[in-house]
Structure 1
Amino acid sequence: MCCRIGAARVPDGSATYFWIACAMLGASLAFRVWIDARAHRRGERVRVLPTVVAATVLVVLTVVFDNVMILADLFQFDHDQLIGIYLGVAPIEDLSYPLCTAILLPAVWRVQRKGRVPSSV
């Protein structure tokens, strides 16, 4: 799959998907940094490599399956709402969902496990 830039433009108010993706990523990163900083202050080990690996796997799978689904005409995007950067036929904005998942899930997991005794692995 190739990366194609079609009529890329500076995001303005009309690139709705871009602004939604930015807001989601910003909120996810802010929450993750806040939770990781609290954990670090408590002396807990904060690992970033698993997040990078998970994000990479999720992005690759998203690119592959988004392209398949778009080419099969299962769904379409309003191209006026996109900034015009594509991986194959999948818009770059669609990668915000797997990235937010990879960033946010460890923080949610850490908050959910708060107060429990960690199992020895």
Structure 2
Amino acid sequence: MTYIELSAWFVGAAVVAAVVLSVVSGRYRAHLGAMAATIAVLFILTAVFDTVMIATGLFHYSADHLLGVHIGLAPLEDFAYPLAGAVLLPTLWAALRARRRARVGIRATDEEPS
């Protein structure tokens, strides 16, 4: 299995879970703009820090299993994990908040207790 196949399965599972969590959370969904900003920041951080870690020899990849596309020294496949996290975690947070609101009985117009 190549790194891109592994990444595709990982991102696919995260997207499916995010869709399910969005349905569960109802109207308290994660904001797409916030997700997009998070993805942009995480991609920049991944490019910088993966390049540094690869350059210092902390880890390396088998060239046989890579696509060959790099951003800095970071292979394109490395960007799947921050993408999956930036998609999955906000939807999980929104679903948990919706569940808490339903459990506590907070209406949409009420302020959340501290």
Alignment TM-score, normalising by the size of structure 1: 0.76
The aligned length equals: 105
Residue 46 of structure 1: how far off its partner (Å): 4.4
| Identical positions, percent | 35
SS of residue paired to 1:74: coil
Determine the structure 2 residue equivalent to 1:3: none
* Match of residue 27, structure 1, among 10, 13, 24: 13
Structure 2 residues not aligned, in runs of 5+:
none
Determine the structure 2 residue equivalent to 1:53: 37
Structure 1 residues not aligned, in runs of 5+:
1-13
Relative to structure 2, which stretch is displaced further, 91-100 or 28-37? 28-37
What is the RMSD of the two structures over their aligned residues, measured on CA atoms?
Answer: 2.1
Residues 6-61 of structure 1, C-alpha deviation per residue, up to 9 Å, x if partnerless?
xxxxxxxx5x110110001111111112222333xx33354111111011101100
2:22/2:95 contact within 8 Å kept? no
Q: Flag the structure with higher helix content.
A: 2
Residue 73 of structure 1: how far off its partner (Å): 1.1
Moved beyond 2 Å, runs of 4+? 42-46, 110-113, 115-120
Determine the structure 2 residue equivalent to 1:6: none
Q: Which amino acid aligns with 1:76?
A: H
Alignment TM-score, normalising by the size of structure 2: 0.80
Determine the structure 2 residue equivalent to 1:18: 4
Distance in 2 of aligned mates of 1:110 and 1:44: 6
Distance in 1 of aligned mates of 2:29 and 2:10: 26
Residue 110 of structure 1: how far off its partner (Å): 2.3
Q: Which amino acid aligns with 1:44?
A: Y
Residue 90 of structure 1: how far off its partner (Å): 1.0
Determine the structure 2 residue equivalent to 1:115: 100
